[in-house]
Chains A and B, each alone.
Chain A
């Protein structure tokens, strides 16, 4: 009796599980890490793609911040339920490149699906960041940003500073901060993404490497070199300013983003991508300018490096495969995103860079930059001067963990438990351990 019931149940379950889609749309799961308003804009593009054709349906879903999205995607892959496309931030590139068959290299996918994208049109910094040494692309660049400075013109006026002339060097920043503090402003300087901006960008601007082998582009056996005079000088300045009340530590990762639109802090260093948020939430006059530098360092200022993220096509799991239709859908979505109109609109609606020259030219010809001052600062800063191997970007495995290590050591310095020099030395040791672990895992 029992056996018959079990048999019937088993057959019924099999029947339910049998795939019934013959002519239905193919769902493409797309995980991203952009909060509002950027997430909404990105999902809007997915909607446009869905409306433009009936075969594939991109299903976007917000999975938390960039680090959280990365972890979610990796865990999903282990469980065999990885999304078709994941938005992976730039520091996850090292990990994704070493991911083996967890990811589908972009060049392979596009070649298989006969989708042609003109990579020469993409900005060199963007193209170089996400490609193999021989130039073959591994992931689809889309939202590339760089770090900029936002300043509160109303606060500047109150402090007797010229609101239209932002400080250009760190010496000028310090002077401005002192005047702001004297005028009674509680938070003259702050920053979001402390490691990205104060360590990585600062190093690039001064043509200083943070790791050997061209910041890791040359191989897995790169070593950190953050314990150097430039960073020691800069971080010591930050620690001293924090003690004097000129600089306020805004927290890790994107926590400092809120400090500018709320009008709390006068000068904030953040991703150019928060421009959309500042426009929406800022109730004061503000400006967007380039990052400051130390003018006594030869060669400074150089180009800044990109941040942001790219889209990676993932396999489903260690033992699962995707259908040809799914791969086609992913390739078609990437083709849609590579169109100049899309890249141009993404740039003008947010503060991210126009990733192709065609998009940049289009936007320039509409006179957009005359009407929106500061919107061209990110790309001007990115294209400034000639790129060197210290300003191409960073490709280190386990870099998300290394960033946290640097942030931890910085936090100890801000509390007065160690000097900035000790913080950098500790961070370099701990970070090198992470790199050696990564190298061993991916040998």
Chain B
């Protein structure tokens, strides 16, 4: 593999500088502020500040609402990840075949990725709203009492589907690339030895896809934890009750709506720690199983 060698230090640092600046300004600075605010108690206007040590963290971790949100977020993230990965893999396997219009299918399957999360949520709202949505009205007329604004399970279901839908395109691209990098010779050898297509998939294709799958697992989990805020806010606002209030949405509710900045900052620090730990665990343990 060719490596690029730089003479001197100025040019490499100058080339890296924009990215480092962005990381500093958009990640380290807000993270630092969150850490700072999480050890303080402030009034909403920022006029009175008192140092509170770990009080905010204790309050948050002993709050029954917070623990319920943790359970809810786990369910939500696992469901979104499973749905997004499974659907994308299915489509990738189908689109990998030599059929007419394969390129058109692939393009159409990639398009949803360009839709902004909040816009995607509004699209699903226009489909599933009990009064103004096509499918929502159809469900109600067919006798199913569909109203996600009132029903916990329906709200969670809708939010999971809307979030997963957005992520399917991204996963699809990677799975397709992964499938296409599998050498034909290996599959043909397995076919000659009498392996049926399904058996071939699970014993040959799937293990060879593992670097891609592992990468996508991490990306999808982080997406489900953080990037689904737009979908939840536009569709259900965390309701009904607290049915779709995931951890990231709770950070928003406590910080922006209830103006309780200390608790909100503490929650976002905990969330950051969880995701960092998750990523570290995955890299250390799951990486071992990855077959290159």
Contacts and interface: CB of A to CB of B under 8 A. Distances in A.
A409 interface: yes
Nearest to A412: B241
Contacts of B41: 440-441
A400 B241 contact: no
Contacts of B149: 251
* Residue in B149, B239, B240, B242 with the greatest tally of chain A CB atoms within 10 Å: B240
Q: Which of B48, B241, B258 has its CB near the most chain A CB atoms (within 10 A)?
A: B241
B239 A78 contact: no
A153 to B, nearest CB: 23
Contact of A401 (B240, B242, B258): B258
A77 B44 CA distance: 10
If over half of B's interface residues share one DSSP class (helix, strand or loop), that class is named, otherwise mixed; here it is loop
Contacts of B257: 67, 71, 400-401, 404
Given A77-B45, A102-B45, A251-B149, A398 B258 contact: yes
Contacts of A417: 152, 241
A197 B62 CA distance: 33
A218 B42 CA distance: 24
B155 to A, nearest CB: 10
B212 interface: no
Interface string A47-74: 0000000000000000000010001001
A67 B257 CA distance: 8
Contact of B241 (A74, A101, A318, A409): A409
A100 B48 CA distance: 9
Contacts of B152: 415, 417
Interface in B25-54: 41-48
A441 B42 contact: yes
Contacts of A411: 150, 239-241
A161 B260 CA distance: 50
Nearest to A72: B256
Given A71-B257, A409-B241, A411-B240, A78 B45 contact: yes
How many interface residues does chain A have, given as a range? 20 to 34
A102 B258 contact: no
A415 B240 contact: yes
A77 B46 contact: yes
Nearest to B259: A74
Contacts of B23: none
A408 B43 contact: no
A361 to B, nearest CB: 40
Contacts of B241: 408-409, 411-412, 415, 417
Contacts of B180: none
> Quick one: which of B44, B257, B260 has the most chain A CB within 10 A?
B44
B45 A318 contact: yes
B279 interface: no
A314 B257 CA distance: 20
22 contacts: A71-B257, A74-B44, A77-B46, A98-B43, A99-B43, A101-B47, A102-B47, A249-B150, A252-B237, A318-B46, A318-B47, A400-B257, A401-B258, A408-B240, A408-B242, A415-B150, A415-B241, A434-B258, A437-B260, A441-B41, A441-B43, A442-B43
**Shortest beta-carbon contacts, A-B, top 4:** A102-B45, A411-B240, A401-B258, A78-B46
